[in-house]
Structure 1
Amino acid sequence: MSNSNLTSAINNPITEDDIANYLANTPDFFERHAEMLAAVQLTSPHSQRAVSLQERQANMLREKIKMLELRIMDMIRNVNENMVLSDKLLQWARTLFLNTDPATLPDLMADELADQFAVPQVGIKVWGVDEAYASAPFAQGVSDDAMLFASSLTEPFCGVNTGLEAINWLPDPKAVASLAILPLRAGPIGSMAPAFGLLVLASPDAQRFNSTMGTDFLARVAELASAALSPLR
């Protein structure tokens, strides 16, 4: 090796990246040097002992299979939970559709929600109703601010109890730690029509209706409730 090449080699030593790039771009290297693969020893991730490359790869595959199995079990569990929720939602909707007395519908709706979905407290208020129902308890005791707040909600609100007016519609407001507030309005989910009611779900568990939970299911409940209550208007 010439002095210039030697100097260049010293000043620019081969790095691990150089070796990795060479092997990545020379796929037949280990075909020509197959004995090297059998001689490679790596540290086991589960102990300090050295294992062969084949054993290390087998361990990695077992870990990947285990992770996939866990993901599949999570998917199956989620599917089962969704099926249970769907069945309960259908039972709730069926009860509402079979009701023939609009005046009893709000209380029936709240009671069935509490029963089907194990919600400790459920409250409901409806305004702008027909004169025949204007004196009913569900149509009384709602301030203009509460009506404006309901119309401002574009989707169900979930979070901790901050003393909103709506908790006073519940049997035991002091026991509320978290709540879900569902605006009731005409039209499909996402409609910007003014709200004509609020459905309140409450729990003493601060995490039952937390601010990070998804609201798609609650939005469906609100849409069905809004449609069912249309005879009151």
Structure 2
Amino acid sequence: MHSEQVLAFLDEHPELLAQLAARYGLQPAPQNGDRVVVSFAERQLLELKDRNRQLEAQLQQLIERGHDNDRLLARLHRLTLAQLAARGAKERIAALKRALAEEFQLDRVALKLWHPAAEGDDEHYNARNEVQGLARNLNAPYCGPYVNDEVMGWFPAKPVLQSFAQVALRGADGQAFGILVLASDDAQRFTFDMHTQYLAQIGELASAALLSALEAA
């Protein structure tokens, strides 16, 4: 007997479906606004299935977040190795910029220093009070769409930059001797509400590497 014949037979004898409903786990649709009565056990089972789906979705999010953190830690590790491999301050600045571009796709990076040993570096030395005051006020990395005119002038006019991260470089005594600024034309790259833990770690790494090189000069 073909499936079409079976369906035609059931259309002619719909009472068979009601008789066989319990055997095959069928439940008729409500008619004329009648409510379907679900047993307490069945309702609990449905609630458990829904809760399990929610937990599975949350677990998948945690797994994906863990993978993201693993990739980020691997990038930070490679950045650290690059700093250790470089020797002088200029070499470490170049290694930092290269690692930020290769590992984090950040090729718009500005770094300014006012340590006395950096005076010979025309590209990176900047002892203006405005710049030093900016770094002193950065108790934590700043992320958002705003920078002052001084900082904006450190970057080319094109493309138009939409978001920035500003990180103070400090010595063991807490005194700022430089500032690191990351910029992007993506307005969502650095936002007010983003976590800054890894930015702070990059700042601490750059501070330690550069200060040791500057003091050894």
- The answer, yes or no, to whether TM exceeds 0.5 is yes
Structure 1 residue aligned with 2:154, among 150, 169, 180? 169
User: Is the CA contact (8 Å cut-off) linking 2:79 and 2:99 kept in structure 1?
Assistant: yes
Distance 2:99 2:158 in 1: 20
Distance 2:189 2:58 in 1: 24
Structure 2 residue runs of 5 or longer lacking an equivalent are 1-34
Structure 1 residue runs of 5 or longer lacking an equivalent are 1-47
Is 1:209 the equivalent of 2:190? yes
Q: Secondary structure at the match of 2:111?
A: strand
Q: TM-score, normalised by structure 2?
A: 0.76
**Deviation at 1:98?**
0.5
User: Is the CA contact (8 Å cut-off) linking 2:97 and 2:107 kept in structure 1?
Assistant: no
Cα gap change, 1:108 to 1:168, in 2 (>3 Å):
farther
Distance 2:146 2:158 in 1: 9
Q: TM-score, normalised by structure 1?
A: 0.71
Task: Report the residue type matching 2:214 in the other structure.
Answer: L
Distance 2:36 2:199 in 1: 53
Identical counterparts, % of pairs: 31
User: Is the CA contact (8 Å cut-off) linking 2:145 and 2:162 kept in structure 1?
Assistant: yes
Hey, what does 1:119 align to over in structure 2?
106
- How many residue pairs get aligned? The number is 181
Hey, what does 1:149 align to over in structure 2?
134
User: Is the CA contact (8 Å cut-off) linking 1:161 and 1:176 kept in structure 2?
Assistant: no
User: Is the CA contact (8 Å cut-off) linking 1:103 and 1:232 kept in structure 2?
Assistant: no
Cα gap change, 1:164 to 1:182, in 2 (>3 Å):
farther
User: Is the CA contact (8 Å cut-off) linking 2:113 and 2:126 kept in structure 1?
Assistant: no
Q: Secondary structure at the match of 2:96?
A: helix
Is 1:198 the equivalent of 2:183? no
Q: Secondary structure at the match of 1:83?
A: helix
User: Is the CA contact (8 Å cut-off) linking 1:110 and 1:124 kept in structure 2?
Assistant: no
Q: Secondary structure at the match of 2:140?
A: coil
Residue range with higher mean Cα deviation, 216-225 or 164-173: 164-173
User: Is the CA contact (8 Å cut-off) linking 1:111 and 1:122 kept in structure 2?
Assistant: no
* RMSD, aligned α-carbons: 2.1
User: Is the CA contact (8 Å cut-off) linking 1:156 and 1:215 kept in structure 2?
Assistant: yes
Q: Secondary structure at the match of 2:116?
A: coil
| Equivalent residue runs for 1:1-233 within 5 Å | 49-130=36-117, 133-172=118-157, 175-187=160-172, 193-230=174-211, 231-233=213-215
Task: Report the residue type matching 1:203 in the other structure.
Answer: S
Distance 1:138 1:216 in 2: 28
Cα gap change, 1:177 to 1:49, in 2 (>3 Å):
farther
Distance 2:93 2:77 in 1: 17
Q: Secondary structure at the match of 2:153?
A: helix
**Deviation at 1:165?**
2.2
Cα gap change, 1:164 to 1:73, in 2 (>3 Å):
farther
